[in-house]
Amino acid sequence: MSKKLKILFIPADNIAANISRSYFFAKGLSQFSEVYFVSWHDHRTVQWLGGTPSKLNTFICFLKSLFQPFKIYKKETDSFLRVNCSVFIDALVGRLVGRINGKKLMRKHNSNTLQKLITEIKPDVIFYADSSYFFPAIEQTNIIQICDVQDDVDWNKFSIALQSTEKNYRKKQYQNYNIRYIVSESAHKSIIKNIGEFSFKVIYNGADFTELQKDYTTEIKELKRKLSIDNKFIITHIGSATWVDPIFTKKLFSEIYKQDKSIVLILVGSMTRVDLPNVINIGMVPASESYIYYNLSEMALLLKDSAGSGFLYNSVPLKNIQYGAVKKPVISFPIQWLEKEKFSNTTIIADNNINNWISEIQQVRKNFSWTDSDTNEWKDYNWDIICKNIHSDIMINLNK
């Protein structure tokens, strides 16, 4: 019997909502491998669970992560093993000692932790889903090393000194990997422009089609009754504040309320409240409950202009794919990936003119219908298929 592949998996986050690209990579790879998921106390969890971020919370999470003892365990809700170990997170320390010094301290500490993890676990593969942001890659090793770049960087928001330090660091890291993945072609072009020529395989984000496509008829009926929206046209935005501009959203739905009181917007996730009679602010819900809201939706909106932000324009929002999985139309500001793929269920509006948005919402409401062509456009964005392909890439490299 062949030995089961061991993957030491370093995620880009440890937000308890379990809805990130990192989480689904680990979950999918655990179908084929023994996955050890490095865990720490993520200060952003409080926001995703509906609480208020604070320096105190960030400091407590820093201490808990730094001093947590080594432990391998399995949660009932996980398909992989979790590994507690001493992890240095620079979110608060960087403000105290400077961002450059904070990152240097973090990476030196986490390098030592990584060596201990390798000794304990003896992995065949190390998957740096953080793209070595937290944990630097090993410079010379027989272990297969993989990176994933899940977002582009708004380099113009960095000081000149920090830009130089981080670009040099990333260039050095990219040289250590056997396999390099990235979330979009435009993010890859940004790396070529800012860091240098490296080969990357584009892996777009995906969705949990199995869970999203379950029958939620009973739950939807109850939710409509609870929210008193039985006779409403339901628009949603599900996720974080990343794609919601509260000022634009308030202007848009104030005008919609004047023109058409049959339309409601439901905001689900960790974003700023929008207090209007036609906006329902749900806040954070568990991932399993969010699937009900995706199915409840009749339309989705991405409500933040991507102009001037490489982070937004070069992204591949998970929510777009989740709406695709449940066969819903989407209206969005420009995203390079959407412009390239030209999904039939997606409309792009390149300005923030309120009348243009209202007109398009009404047009889509009146004319949209899902077709077999739409299904074919989205079918390969299933996390199960994506992770099966990643596993194949790993096995090819192991057998070289």
Q: Please, how many CA atoms are within 13 Å of residue 154, restricted to the half-sphere of its CB?
A: 10
The residue behind tokens 């456009």 is: 377
The answer, yes or no, to whether residue 68 has pLDDT greater than 90, is yes
Are the beta carbons of 21 and 52 closer than 8 angstroms? no
Mean pLDDT of 239-246: 92
Q: Rounded to the nearest 5 degrees, what angle is found at the Cα of 374, between the Cα atoms of 282 and 219?
A: 30
Average pLDDT over residues 318-326: 96
Q: Rounded CA gap, 43 and 39, in Å? A: 12
255 in Cβ contact with 277 (< 8 Å): no
Alpha carbon distance 382, 380 (integer Å): 5
Q: What is the pTM of this model?
A: 0.86
Same CATH topology for 6-206+382-398 and 209-379: the answer is yes
Buried b (16+ CB within 10 A) or exposed e, 174-210: bebbbbbbbbbbbbbebbeebbeebebeebbbbbbbe
The residue with tokens 């937000």 is 15
Task: Let me know if domain 6-206+382-398 sits in CATH 3.40.50.2000.
Answer: yes
- Predicted confidence (pLDDT) at residue 286 exceeds the cutoff of 90: no
Could you tell me the pLDDT band of residue 248, with boundaries at 50, 70 and 90? very high
pLDDT at residue 50, as a whole number? 66
Residues paired with 347 in a beta bridge: 331
Torsion of CA 149, 87, 111, 187, to 10 degrees: 10
Q: 209-379: which CATH architecture?
A: 3-Layer(aba) Sandwich (3.40)
Q: Where are the chain's structural domains? A: 6-206+382-398, 209-379
Per-chain mean pLDDT for the chain: 94
Give the pLDDT mean for 318-346: 96
Amino acid 1: pLDDT: 37
Q: Which residues pair with 346 in a beta bridge?
A: 330
Q: Give buried/exposed letters for 253-286 (b at 16+ CB in 10 A, else e).
A: beebbeeeeebbbbbbbbbeebebebbbebebbe
**Average pLDDT in the 153-173 region?**
95
Report the alpha-carbon angle 233-239-242, nearest 5. Answer: 115
Position 315 pLDDT exceeds 70: yes
So what's the pLDDT on residue 95? 85
74: left (phi over 0), alpha (psi -120 to 50) or beta: beta
- Poorest-pLDDT segment among 62-71, 151-160, 364-373, 388-397: 151-160
